[in-house]
Amino acid sequence: MDPKTIAVIGAGNGGFAMAADLALSGWKISLYELPRFRENIDPLSDKGGIDIVGTNIDGKANSGFGKLNKITCDIKDAIDDAHCIMVNTRAVTHGEVAELMGPHLKEGQTIFILPGNGGSLLFTKIFREMGMKVKVDLAETLTFPYGCRKTSPTSVFVDRMLGKNLLAAFPSRNNDKLLNTFKTFYPNSSTWHHVLEIAISNPNIILHPAATMLSVARIEFSKGDFGLYTEGFSPSVMKVLESLDEESVNIKRCLGIPAISYKELYEIRHSRPFKEHWDQVLCTKNSPRGPTDVKTRYITEDVPVGMVLIASIGRLYGVPTPTFDSVIHLCGVMNDCDYWGEGRTMEKLGLSKLSLKDLKEYLKQGYFPSGSS
């Protein structure tokens, strides 16, 4: 393995930003895309890289051409020499990526999942079921580092870095080791207790699904001429978000981790009062437009991967989540989906038979206590 080689998995907006930014920072980047999304990387083949404009990992203006070492739909080729593997595909594809990657991983490689949403727990379960023998390190982050969008098939604009990133390793006994590695790419990072804390604390889980669901008439009437952050957070909608946040905090208390609200989390990550950040960064006339319909990832990803996981923990350990349950149900009705059936539950992660005590031990040590698996 080459310690300067990084594999970036996923070539959407985030993959473009990460690949170009890290390439400009001196890393050798292999950019991988799932074969069915080949059109995301085909335009890069002749050019050999990505043009980036915006903000870099140091928060400074960053523009230039990020030359890529490899551009491929061959997962083995992408990760073969990589010391670190950055997975930034949509969370609903985590299982697919783990199955593709597993047979080709090498001893000592490190996988970061950005954002995680419990992805490290799912990767571990899949690797175990595959009978994988090599030992790799796993960690996941709270959010993706960049606020970004593609401006052409070969270029990307980074609006801003999304505050201090929070990371946890699985198992959490490796937190310090993997934080030190991650900070070589993103210095403004720190650790939390364990990956389940990271998974259920993503603020998008609170902010996006309910507000989108409650704005659906406006979204459909306007045919997508809508901006969630400028139009969707009315006083009544905010009451629903506060109820979701209260239920989420109760889950955190049950798990024995700090009962931090999504507003407190914003203040930790951005070092400023929540209302100031909300007014000056999020809910401004420059906020991006959308979503344009109910098939948005604000529902199709944040509900089955984020909301279902929180509600699943509540069901397992006896913590009521009636507002989460209602939003999950109604979003499923709108999209003709059984989000409970397809979502990321504790059972899907292989954790539904664990007592709270055993769950905490598993998250820390990485193996099931005797008799609990």
- Note whether 174 and 139 are same-domain residues: yes
Query: At a CB cut-off of 8 Å and minimum separation 6, what does 292 contact?
Result: 219, 223, 224, 226
Quick check: is 373 in a domain?
Answer: no
* Same domain, yes or no: 137 and 253: no
Domain final residue pick, 145, 173, 199 = 199
Tell me the C-alpha distance between 33 and 108, whole Å.
Answer: 23
- In the predicted model, is pLDDT for residue 282 greater than 80? no
Q: Do 38 and 150 reside in the same domain of the chain? A: yes
- Sign of the C-alpha dihedral computed for residues 14, 15, 21 and 27 taken in this order: positive
Give me the pLDDT at residue 288, please: 74
Residue 137 has pLDDT above 60, yes or no: yes
Q: What are the CA-CA distances from residue 243 to residues 176, 179, 325, 331, 355 (Å)?
A: 34, 33, 12, 17, 27
For the cut 60, the answer to whether the pLDDT of residue 59 exceeds it is no
pLDDT of residue 83: 96
pLDDT per residue as tens digits for the range 224-262: 889 898 889 999 999 999 999 999 999 999 999 999 999
Mean local confidence (pLDDT), 116-120: 96
pLDDT of 222 above 80: yes
Would you say residue 372 lies in a domain? no
Domain membership of residue 369 (yes or no) is: no
Q: What confidence tier does 1 reach under pLDDT thresholds 50, 70, 90?
A: confident
Distance CA 170, CA 133 (A): 17
What DSSP assignment string belongs to 46-83?
A: HH-EEEEEEE-TTSSEEEEEEE-SEEES-HHHHHTTEE
Sheet holding 110-113, edge to edge: 70-72, 28-32, 2-9, 82-87, 110-113, 137-141, 165-170, 189-191
Give 277's pLDDT tier (boundaries 50, 70, 90).
confident
301 and 309 Cβ atoms separated by less than 8 Å: no
Residue 371 falls inside a structural domain: no
The backbone torsions φ and ψ at residue 62, rounded to the nearest 5 degrees and listed phi first, read -145, 115
Are 152 and 275 in a shared domain? no
pLDDT one-digit tens code per residue, 155-213: 999 987 878 899 999 999 999 999 999 999 999 899 999 999 999 999 999 999 999 99
pLDDT score at 370: 73
- Cα separation values, 197 from 95, 140, 242, 345, Å: 20, 11, 19, 15
Query: pLDDT category, 316, cuts 50, 70, 90?
Result: very high
**71 pLDDT more than 60:** yes
pLDDT at 229: 87
Does 109 score more than 90 pLDDT? yes
Residue 77 — very low, low, confident or very high, per pLDDT cuts 50/70/90? very high
User: Does the pLDDT of residue 57 top 60, yes or no?
Assistant: no
Structural domain count of the chain: 2
**In this structure, are 326 and 245 located in the same domain?**
yes
Which residue range is the domain that position 108 belongs to?
Answer: 2-199
| Beta-strand relationship, 137-141 and 165-170 | antiparallel
Q: Are residue 160 and residue 240 in the same domain, yes or no?
A: no
Residue 224 CB contacts under 8 Å (≥ 6 apart), including other chains: 289, 290, 291, 292, 293
Report yes or no on 91 lying in a domain: yes
Average pLDDT of span 92-106: 96
* 171 is a domain residue: yes
- Res 265: pLDDT: 92
The answer to whether residue 27 scores a pLDDT higher than 70 is yes
169, 32: one domain: yes
User: Which residues are CB-contacts of 362 (< 8 A; sequence separation ≥ 6)?
Assistant: 171, 351, 354, 368, 369, 372
Choose the final residue of a domain: 164, 199, 234.
199
More confident residue, 345 or 267: 345
Is 280 inside any structural domain?
Answer: yes
> Does residue 216 fall inside a structural domain?
yes
Q: Are 241 and 359 part of one and the same domain?
A: yes
pLDDT at residue 276 in the model: 80
58 CB-near residues (< 8 Å, 6+ apart): 187
Give the CATH number for residue 359.
Answer: 1.10.1040.10
Closest CA relative to residue 191, chosen from 208, 174, 207? 174
Q: How far apart are CA 181 and CA 194, in angstroms?
A: 17
Q: Shortest CA distance to 161 belongs to which of 193, 114, 198?
A: 114
**In this structure, are residues 293 and 224 in contact, taking their beta carbons and an 8 Å threshold?**
yes
Average model confidence (pLDDT) for the chain?
93
C-alpha–C-alpha distance, residues 271 and 169, integer Å: 24
- Residue 283 is predicted with a pLDDT of 67
Regarding whether 50 and 133 lie in a shared domain, the answer is yes
CATH assignment at residue 51: 3.40.50.720
**Distance from C-alpha of 241 to C-alpha of 228, rounded to nearest angstrom:** 14
Residue 202, CB-side half-sphere exposure with 13 Å CA sphere: 31
- Within this chain, do residues 195 and 224 fall inside the same structural domain, yes or no? no
How much is the pLDDT for 107? 95
Q: Which of 159, 177, 199 is the last residue of a domain?
A: 199
Q: Do 321 and 293 share a structural domain?
A: yes
Let me know whether 179 and 234 are in one domain. no
The predicted model gives 345-367 an average pLDDT of 96
